[in-house]
A and B are shown apart, each in its own frame.
Chain A
Amino acid sequence: MRVKKRLALGVILFLTATVFVCSAVAEPILEKIERTGVVTMAFREGSVPFGYMNQKGEWIGFGLDLGYEIHQALEQKFGKEIELVKKPMNPKTRIPLVVNGTVDIGIGSTTITLEREKVIDFSLPYFLTGTRLLVPKDSPIKDFSDLAEKRVGMGSGSTANIKGLDRAIAQGLIKPECQKMLFEEHNKGFLALQQGKIHAYFTDASILAGMKAKAEKPDDWEIAGRYLTYEPYGLLLPENQGEWRDFINAALVQIIKSGKFMEIYDKWFGPDGEVPLEMGDEYKALLKALSFPD
């Protein structure tokens, strides 16, 4: 009896402690960065070219370069050196990491969705792509309607993708419907595609371009189909951190206006970049719209 009581007391103490710790982290992030001199950013580790390990084991990518620019803007703002702590994130951990305050910002390849807006905040959209299909070069699949009765792979954490395909099936675009196969990581899905387990892999064109570029023989693969959905990416920010979000948005606009953004884009997605991906007209228009006057 006594043991049980003690156990119950322990559980209650533990829970109160957790709640207390959770409520104690509501300090404004900008103030925290100034006080501690540390900013924590999360990046992707396996998403070419947004954030990945190259063959030398260096952590590089479009997202990291963007993070360095924001880091610079922070140092400028506070007029002192700020330490940048980098943490890895993946589609499953990215939201929790931001929600529980482990990181101040997540920079990956995350589509802004209204569902996600309920638990976190997003920056302005800084990247625009759409969902397409990766297929073997001589595949009969040219567009989404050709997917009828085929096996299509996608990431199990890519909810925006999955919903998009479900909608296409519901609207009768793919008839009879295709079979969805879910993979934890895009690279596992690509392996399955190479082995013929699936007929096509479905996700954002930017990610498909990365998969194709990193394939053994990139020419064996083709990105097919029109955009099924638009996928605007945003930086992941915690909720109720208005000043932090304002700062990030202002930094983004400055990076775009100064031409630095195009420089980084070309480094990764330009014709000679790691993952050649032509910037669509919609994306160009988006960047123009983001060039807010001072």
Chain B
Amino acid sequence: MGLLNYHFDWSVLWRAPYGQMMIQGIFTTVHLSLIAWGLALVLGILIGVLRTQPWLPGRIFGAAYVQIFRNTPFLVHLFFWYYAAPLILPESGQQWLYDTVPNYAYWAGVAGLGMYTASRVAEQFRSGFSSIPADQYRAAYASGLRTFQVYRWVIIPYGFRLILPTITTEFLTCFKNSALTMTIGVMEITHTAYYIDSFTWHGLETTTAASLVYLTIAWTVIAVMGQVEKRVYIPGQIRKEG
């Protein structure tokens, strides 16, 4: 019964056809999360800037985006992008979409994860930008830069480095959240682990392996981001010198 009679069989992780599935699952998790993260970073910076710059309609849009995307469950986003979003197209358009994008679920997952994470990233950037002393903005304007240039050359490079540690956390969360895309059928590593389990009854092995994959990814990200932090930190800020 139960644990006593459970015979561990780690070979499900590499024997055919499961080994191939595991590797594909790992790759799917990695590239799905990376693409979503790229999207989140670009959108997040944009929204973060919109929320702090002086133009009112932009600020309203940015605030609305964050309030909607950050305050609803991520799972709902996935269902939205997978089931509801295509409905705005006419029927022939939907058919065209499903025929030309055969793994629509994957891209729905990327969109969902990217746009959800963007709302969180945007808030990090906003707090980063707002923590920059107002004098710095004034000084930048006084030197003749326009709003775009102020952000491009002064605020973003500065704010980015201030929030680097919290951005690392968001990056990790993005990877871990990618597991939820299994609910719309994306075959990432968690889904693969469950899938192999349903054939072999060796879910303990596959989910352990999946957890190790997430841990490895997380440690890699932390190591890389640690290096980045070391390279770009502003002397006298956050990191203690000496």
Within 8 A of A (CB), among B185-242: 185, 187, 191, 194-195, 198-199, 201
Q: Are B102 and A99 in contact (CB under 8 A)?
A: no
A197 touching B194 in the complex, CB below 8 Å, given contacts A95-B201, A159-B199: no
Q: Are B201 and A157 in contact (CB under 8 A)?
A: no
Q: Are A118 and B201 in contact (CB under 8 A)?
A: yes
A197 touching B3 in the complex, CB below 8 Å, given contacts A156-B198, A182-B185: no
Across-interface contacts of A115 in B (CB, < 8 A): 199, 201
Q: Does B1 make an interface contact (CB < 8 A)? A: yes
A22 touching B1 in the complex, CB below 8 Å, given contacts A182-B187, A197-B98, A197-B104: yes
Q: Does A11 make an interface contact (CB < 8 A)? A: no
| Cβ-closest chain A residue relative to B186 | A182
Q: Does A276 make an interface contact (CB < 8 A)? A: no
> Which of A25, A181, A184, A192 makes the CB contact (< 8 A) with B1?
A25
Q: Does B58 make an interface contact (CB < 8 A)? A: no
Separation of A27 and B199 alpha carbons in the complex (Å): 29
Q: Are A181 and B4 in contact (CB under 8 A)?
A: no
Separation of A196 and B94 alpha carbons in the complex (Å): 8
Across-interface contacts of B3 in A (CB, < 8 A): 18-19, 22
> Which of A101, A118, A156, A195 makes the CB contact (< 8 A) with B2?
A101
Q: Does A76 make an interface contact (CB < 8 A)? A: no
**What mask results when residues 156 to 198 of chain A are scored 1 for a CB within 8 Å of chain B, else 0?**
1101000100000000000000010111100000011001110
Across-interface contacts of B2 in A (CB, < 8 A): 18, 22-23, 25, 99-101
| Cβ-closest chain A residue relative to B98 | A197
> Which of B1, B86, B87, B201 makes the CB contact (< 8 A) with A101?
B1
> Which of A18, A25, A181 makes the CB contact (< 8 A) with B185?
A181
Please count how many residues in chain B sit with their CB below 8 Å of the partner chain's CB atoms.
24
> Which of A23, A92, A101 makes the CB contact (< 8 A) with B198?
A92
**What mask results when residues 63 to 80 of chain B are scored 1 for a CB within 8 Å of chain A, else 0?**
000000000000000000
Across-interface contacts of A215 in B (CB, < 8 A): none
Q: Does B95 make an interface contact (CB < 8 A)? A: yes
> Which of A99, A100, A195 makes the CB contact (< 8 A) with B86?
A195
Q: Does A151 make an interface contact (CB < 8 A)? A: yes
Please count how many residues in chain A sit with their CB below 8 Å of the partner chain's CB atoms.
30
Q: Does A279 make an interface contact (CB < 8 A)? A: no
> Which of B4, B91, B102, B194 makes the CB contact (< 8 A) with A23?
B4
A156 touching B86 in the complex, CB below 8 Å, given contacts A100-B2, A182-B187, A197-B98: no
| Cβ-closest chain B residue relative to A192 | B83
Separation of A181 and B104 alpha carbons in the complex (Å): 11
Separation of A183 and B183 alpha carbons in the complex (Å): 8
Q: Does A8 make an interface contact (CB < 8 A)? A: no
**What mask results when residues 42 to 66 of chain B are scored 1 for a CB within 8 Å of chain A, else 0?**
0000000000000000000000000
| Cβ-closest chain A residue relative to B2 | A22
Q: Does A7 make an interface contact (CB < 8 A)? A: no
Best-buried of B1, B87, B198, B201 by chain A (most CB within 10 Å): B1
| Cβ-closest chain B residue relative to A25 | B1
| Cβ-closest chain B residue relative to A198 | B98
- Chain A positions near chain B (C-beta within 8 angstroms): 18-19, 22-23, 25-26, 91-92, 95, 99-101, 115, 118-119, 151, 156-157, 159, 163, 179, 181-184, 191-192, 195-197
13 contacts between A and B (CB under 8 A): A22-B3, A92-B198, A100-B1, A101-B1, A101-B2, A115-B201, A118-B201, A151-B102, A163-B199, A191-B83, A195-B83, A196-B98, A197-B98
Known pairs A99-B2, A118-B201 / 13 extra A-B pairs, C-beta < 8 Å: A18-B3, A23-B4, A26-B1, A91-B198, A119-B201, A151-B102, A156-B195, A156-B198, A182-B191, A195-B83, A195-B94, A196-B91, A196-B95
